[in-house]
């Protein structure tokens, strides 16, 4: 047994490991050839790396060798004389056209019934009779008829219609039409804030408990006598709309009606309404 464990100093590690084993299995051959394969791979990898690293430099060097030589050109600079600038004489400005004559607004003639003042009729002087007629007259104590001259009587004055000018009456408004644009707006006694306070105080909040914030737009017609008709509410909550209409109708105070040309007219009033119910 001692002879079996004595190895030759020339044996490699692979021969010792694969002693008494099947060396034809492949592992022995792979381990035996591994150093050669590793050395060959290292050399080939080094050569491939050097080729890849040096290739760009070689290509650049080849391009430089094949590049044509640069030609130097002598350029003699010549001074270029600037041409004299042509100064254009300023043109005389044409005078602006005269402004158009102002347009005269057509004058509206007002016919007045004016009675002319009566004037005294001028005196009609009758020429004296000719001398031959004067010689035919006899002087004495007897009365003689003289030459009668017609007397002027002025015409009677026209019937008196007053000396004041005729007044132009304003056009009448339509009593049935509901106006959206008026000269004087309809007003509630105490102002719009007083109207809002009445709406808030008369509103039944129990019907809207827990609804949150609700809004609508109320429209109604202020009649010529100041009363309210045609009350409507346009909102998303029907309960709130109905209570708003009821509240508006319950306010009996009369408004000051709107006016057009100084005449009372029917006017459509719009008011947004927003309340918060917790």
Give CA 67 to chain center in angstroms: 70
pLDDT of residue 166: 45
Identify the residue whose tokens are 């035996």.
32
**How would you write the pLDDT of the chain (278 residues) with one tens digit per residue?**
444 555 566 666 666 666 666 666 666 667 767 778 889 899 999 999 999 999 999 999 888 888 876 766 666 666 666 776 777 777 777 788 888 888 777 766 655 555 556 666 666 666 666 655 555 555 445 555 555 555 656 667 666 555 444 456 667 888 888 888 888 888 999 888 899 898 888 888 887 766 778 889 999 999 989 999 999 999 888 888 888 899 999 988 889 999 988 889 999 999 898 888 77
Instruction: Tell me if 169 is assigned to some domain.
Output: no
Instruction: Tell me if 99 is assigned to some domain.
Output: no
Domain count, the chain: 2
What are the φ and ψ backbone dihedral angles of 59, each rounded to 5 degrees?
-65, -40
Range of the domain at 232: 178-277
Instruction: Tell me if 213 is assigned to some domain.
Output: yes
pLDDT of residue 165: 43
Exposure class string for 163-198: b at 16+ Cβ within 10 A, else e: eeeeeeeeeebeeeeebeebeeebebeeeeeebeeb
Instruction: Tell me if 91 is assigned to some domain.
Output: no
Instruction: Tell me if 26 is assigned to some domain.
Output: yes
- Give the three-class secondary structure for 246: helix
Query: What's the angle, vertex CA 219, arms to CA 215 and CA 224, rounded to 5?
Result: 155
CATH (domain of 189):
3.30.1150
Q: Last residue of some domain: 26, 42, 61?
A: 61
Instruction: Tell me if 4 is assigned to some domain.
Output: yes
Instruction: Tell me if 55 is assigned to some domain.
Output: yes
| Selection from 92, 255, 98, 240 nearest residue 187 by Cα | 255
- Give the three-class secondary structure for 144: coil
Instruction: Tell me if 117 is assigned to some domain.
Output: no
pTM of the entire predicted model? 0.40
């Amino acid at each position: 047994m001692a002879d079996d464990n004595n190895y030759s100093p020339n044996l490699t590690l692979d021969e010792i490991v694969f002693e008494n084993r099947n060396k034809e299995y492949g592992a022995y051959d792979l381990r035996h050839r591994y150093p050669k394969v590793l050395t060959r791979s290292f050399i080939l990898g080094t050569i491939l790396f050097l080729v890849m690293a040096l290739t760009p430099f070689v290509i650049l060097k080849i391009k430089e060798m094949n590049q044509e030589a640069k030609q130097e050109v002598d350029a003699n600079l010549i001074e270029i004389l600037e041409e004299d600038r042509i100064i254009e004489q300023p043109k005389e400005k044409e005078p602006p056209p005269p402004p158009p004559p102002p347009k005269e607004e057509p004058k509206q003639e007002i016919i007045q019934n004016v009675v002319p003042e009566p004037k005294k009729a001028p005196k009609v002087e009758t020429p004296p009779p000719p001398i031959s007629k004067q010689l035919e007259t006899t002087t004495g104590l007897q009365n003689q008829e003289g030459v009668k001259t017609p007397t002027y009587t002025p015409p009677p004055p026209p019937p008196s219609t007053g000396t004041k000018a005729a007044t132009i009456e304003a056009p009448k408004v339509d009593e049935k039409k509901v106006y959206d644009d008026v000269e004087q707006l309809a007003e509630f006694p105490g102002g719009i804030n007083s109207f809002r306070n009445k709406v808030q105080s008369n509103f039944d909040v129990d019907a809207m408990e827990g609804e949150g914030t609700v809004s609508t737009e109320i429209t109604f017609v202020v009649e010529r006598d100041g009363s309210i008709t045609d009350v409507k509410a346009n909102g998303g909550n029907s309960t709130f709309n109905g209570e708003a209409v009821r509240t508006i109708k319950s306010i009996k105070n009369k408004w000051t009606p709107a006016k057009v040309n100084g005449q009372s007219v029917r006017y459509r009033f719009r008011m947004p309404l927003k309340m918060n119910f917790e």
